[in-house]
């Protein structure tokens, strides 16, 4: 019995040491309601569907990496862009933003960029306040001024390499 108690005592000591070691010493304290960067989501909106990309055009790897490198966890909304306030992509994005307060950024490529504008117009003031960053790539006619009250809006036109190269060209602006 003494042997078992000793092992349990050592296990308890080990657990206490592990808790002390991993207990968050040195981690920055966040403001109430603020999520750590790795928990903050950049909702990524695909472009319109085509024969090669029936789920919607997007260089998903470049978009995900961009999100990660600017401090977000990228989540691709797995639906192609179609236009209009009542489109499936707009409805799904609004639902995702309203259900989950960790969504704090929007990235729209091509048709997804046009839908980002539609989504922005339908958000409440509180929902807009939560969105820290908006990125629109390859959506001519979408302008930063259409995202009123948001200081961190990035609008990029197509690079010389072509429309589909937009997400990779944006990622490359961050350097290695």
Confidence band (pLDDT; 50, 70, 90) for 23? very low
Can you tell me the mean pLDDT for 48-72? 95
Instruction: Please state the pTM of the whole predicted model.
Output: 0.78
Dihedral of alpha carbons 30, 149, 84, 111, sign: negative
Predicted pLDDT of residue 98: 97
Q: Which residues pair with 42 in a beta bridge?
A: 74, 105
Q: Is the pLDDT of residue 16 over 70?
A: no
Q: Are 94 and 103 in contact (CB under 8 A)?
A: no
> Tokens for 150?
């948001």
Write the pLDDT tens digit of every residue in 120-161. Answer: 999 999 999 999 999 999 999 999 999 988 779 999 999 999
Exposure string of 36-63, with b = 16+ CB inside 10 Å and e = fewer, is eeeebbbbbbbbbbeeebeebbbbbebb
In eight-state DSSP terms, residue 151 is S
Q: What is the domain class of 38-172 according to CATH? A: alpha beta
Q: What are phi and psi of 103, to 5 degrees?
A: -75, 110
Contact yes or no for 25/18 (Cβ under 8 A)? no
Tell me which long-range contacts 163-168 makes (C-beta under 8 A, separation of at least 24).
163/110, 163/138, 164/57, 164/59, 165/59, 166/59, 166/109, 166/110, 166/137, 166/138, 167/58, 167/59, 167/62, 167/63, 167/66, 167/109, 167/137, 168/59, 168/62
pLDDT, averaged across the chain: 83
- C-alpha to C-alpha distance for 70 and 90, rounded to whole angstroms: 24
Cα separation of the two ends of the chain: 59
Do 56 and 44 touch, CB atoms closer than 8 A?
no
């Amino acid at each position: 019995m003494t042997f078992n108690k000793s092992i349990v005592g050592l296990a308890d000591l080990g657990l206490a040491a592990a808790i002390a070691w991993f207990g968050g010493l040195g981690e920055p304290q966040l403001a109430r309601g603020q999520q750590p960067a790795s928990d903050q989501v950049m909702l990524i909106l695909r472009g319109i569907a085509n024969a090669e990309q029936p789920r919607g055009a997007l260089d998903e790897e470049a978009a995900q990496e961009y999100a990660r490198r600017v401090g977000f966890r990228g989540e691709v909304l797995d639906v192609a862009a179609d236009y209009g306030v009542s489109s499936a992509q707009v409805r799904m994005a609004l639902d995702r933003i309203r259900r989950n307060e960790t969504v704090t950024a929007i990235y729209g490529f091509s048709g997804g960029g046009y839908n980002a504008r539609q989504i922005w117009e339908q958000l409440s003031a509180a929902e807009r306040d939560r969105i820290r960053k908006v990125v629109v790539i390859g959506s001519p006619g979408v302008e930063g001024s259409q995202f009123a009250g948001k200081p961190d809006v990035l609008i990029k036109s197509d690079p010389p390499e072509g429309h589909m190269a937009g997400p990779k060209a944006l990622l490359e602006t961050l350097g290695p």
